[in-house]
A = this chain, B = another copy of it.
Amino acid sequence: MKNRKLLLTSRDIETIEGERRVHFLNPKADRIRKSLGDHVGLKNLGVHLVYIEPGSESTEFHKHYTEEECVFVLSGKGTLYIGDEIFPFGEGDFVGFPVDTDAHMIVNDGEEILICLVMGQRLTQDVADYPHKNKRLYRYNGKWDLVDLEAITDPRKPA
């Protein structure tokens, strides 16, 4: 059964030990992740089950400049923040973020666990903004460079 390793049954998924991850810029983004994609050897697609407890957030409010991502809600409900707008977001809902769309996050302000399937490209380079923290992250060649937005200038513009 050499191809059994490509398959994760719902029972397999239950028995995977979730990885607790706290976002480096947001202690409230404290959630459990089971990376389905990693378990079966995907390299260029990130596919994760993310379990968000009531009171927790899916991530730091952020946007990507080069990687696309999207979320499908498997169970529970919460609130989706995009730019300065908010939307109810629960079981069976989907949201996608083409590159350079507004920053976003999901908050579990309900009373039960929120379970999301989060999917995204995995490029060798990406740039992401964390506007609530005033930071930009550049990721390339295995490096992560975090910079305050005020530290950035455009050399093509006169000072």
Closest B-chain residue to A39, C-beta based? B96
Residue A109 CB within 8 A of the other chain = no
Residue A36 CB within 8 A of the other chain = yes
What's the tally of chain A residues with a CB closer than 8 Å to chain B? 71
**A positions within 8 Å CB-CB of B:** 1-4, 6-10, 13, 24-25, 36-37, 39-45, 47, 65-66, 68-70, 72, 80, 82-83, 85, 87, 89-102, 117, 119-121, 124-125, 127, 136-138, 140-141, 143-148, 151-156
Across the interface, do A155 and B25 meet the contact criterion of CB distance under 8 Å? yes
15 contacts between A and B (CB under 8 A): A3-B82, A3-B85, A3-B87, A4-B87, A6-B101, A36-B96, A42-B68, A42-B96, A45-B96, A66-B125, A127-B141, A144-B154, A144-B156, A145-B152, A147-B153
Tell me the complex Cα distance, A154–B127, Å: 14
Across the interface, do A3 and B45 meet the contact criterion of CB distance under 8 Å? no
Interface centre among A6, A42, A138 (most CB of B within 10 A): A6
Across the interface, do A93 and B155 meet the contact criterion of CB distance under 8 Å? no
Across the interface, do A154 and B143 meet the contact criterion of CB distance under 8 Å? yes
Given A7-B87, A10-B93, A141 and B43 contact (CB-CB distance below 8 Å): no
Note all chain B residues with C-beta closer than 8 A to A9. 92-93
Note all chain B residues with C-beta closer than 8 A to A36. 70, 72, 94, 96
